[in-house]
Amino acid sequence: MSRRSATMQDVATAAGVALKTVSRVVNSEAGVSDATRERVEAAIAELGYVPNAPARRLAGGRAGLLGLVSFVDPHGDAGVGATAELQRGALARCRAEGLGILLHPWIDGGPLDVESALRLIEQRSVDALIVTPPADTPELLGGLRELDLPHVLISPSEDAGDSPQVVCTERRGTRDMTRYLHSLGHRRIAFVTGPPGTAARRERLDGFISSLREAGSEPDPGLIVQGSTSFRSGLSSGRLLLDRSDPPTAILCWLDEVAAGVLAAAHQLGLSVPTDVSIAGHGDVPLAGRTWPALSTVRQPLADMGAAAAGLALRALRGEAIAGTCVELRTELVIRETTANAPG
């Protein structure tokens, strides 16, 4: 029954006006008398007219969509919560502007399909790309810059160059937590860091080391261990640290996911948290509020970051020059139940 849907011309005929007038009404442009506008609106309502997006795009040159290139771990191990939060923020902002979001996740852990990501813009499917780590590979960024395609980076893994970006206060976040633990009397604080070569990892580690030094204690190299992004890696890092003859009294992790693993390791070893050992994460992803005890962590405003990225992209689409722009959002300490005074 769904007959060919009404076109703008149909509406124009029904309202007895020209095509262009309908276009004006639909796009709420000026230059239409109230009487005419009402007549057109009535016709639109009666015919159930809905504008045809592809036609609009062809004629107008705008896709009306933002592409989101993010990473989705096939085993749901890493960043599930983070990606979802980012999406949420970006979506809310886009919807407010009448834009949509097209997903282009790097799914399988295999090599990122740079070609298809770039093509997304080249073929006008989206107007701009928002790229999140670890999809921000040199290849992708190189292509983006070379072809001069509009894009925004979120917490870039590497030097972002001139690309507009949204970051948060990584170093400060870790410093706040380190100081907090220090203020609780902890003097043997361990740090579980991530794989080498990402900016966030570097900054968090720096924040840890520098604030320890500021507080007058030299970090013990044996208490800095390298994990990855997974719960499992937290499990083994935790065991490593807590099995020592001189275990730390607090363990700070560069990611919530990893902290959850360390927490599980502590439980397995029969330690009670936070009485025997304090544990803290970074990110404040949903998981952080669901562990037992609930994880103290550094809150990253992920949804806000997504929204800010969408906002930057929108400005770029309006023609503003945003190259080199960097929006920095503040982290904050979220103290839940895994941190307490140092034992003894």
Partner DNA sequence: ATGAAAGCGCTAACAC
Partner DNA sequence: GTGTTAGCGCTTTCAT
Residues that bind a copy of itself (CB under 8 A): 1-2, 5, 50-55, 57-58, 63-65, 72, 74, 76-77, 80-81, 83-85, 87-88, 91-92, 95, 100-105, 107-108, 119-120, 122-125, 147-149, 231, 257, 260-261, 263-264, 267-268, 285-287, 289-294
Rounded CA gap, 67 and 91, in Å?
11
Binding mask 271-310 for DNA (x = CB under 7 A): ----------------------------------------
Q: For residues 147 and 323, which CB has a smaller minimum distance to a copy of itself in the complex?
A: 147
- Asked if 17 touches DNA (CB under 7 A), the answer is yes
- By the 10 Å C-beta count (0-12 exposed, 13-18 middle, 19+ buried), 92 is classed as middle
What is the three-class DSSP state of 111? coil
Which tokens is 71 given?
Answer: 């990473």
Tell me which of 14, 23, 259, 262 binds DNA, using CB under 7 A. Answer: 23
Exactly one of 32, 128, 149, 279 binds DNA (CB under 7 A); that residue is 32
CB nearer to DNA: give 22 or 235: 22
The span of 4-12, 215-223, 237-245, 316-324 binding DNA (CB under 7 A) equals 4-12
Helix (H, G, I), strand (E, B) or coil at 295: coil
| 20: Cβ contacts below 8 Å, ≥ 6 apart | none
Q: Which does 26 bind (CB under 5 to 8 A by kind): DNA, a copy of itself, none?
A: DNA
List Cα–Cα distances, 102 to 37, 129, 229, in angstroms.
Answer: 34, 9, 26
Non-local CB neighbours of 214 within 8 Å, separated by 6+ positions: none
Q: Please give the Cα distance from 196 to 114 (Å, whole number).
A: 22
Q: Binders of DNA among 44-83, rule CB under 7 A?
A: 49, 51-52, 55-56, 58-61
CB 290 within 8 A of CB 260: no
Please report how close the Cβ of residue 49 comes to DNA at its closest, in angstroms.
7
Q: Is 42 in the site for DNA (CB under 7 A)?
A: no
100 pairs with which residues across the strands? 65
Q: How big, in percent rounded to 5, are the helix, strand and coil portions of the chain?
A: 45, 15, 40
Beta bridge partners of residue 106, listed in sequence order: 71
Cβ 44 to DNA shortest distance, Å: 10
Q: Which residues bind DNA (CB under 7 A)?
A: 4-5, 7-9, 17-21, 23-24, 26-27, 30-33, 35-37, 49, 51-52, 55-56, 58-61
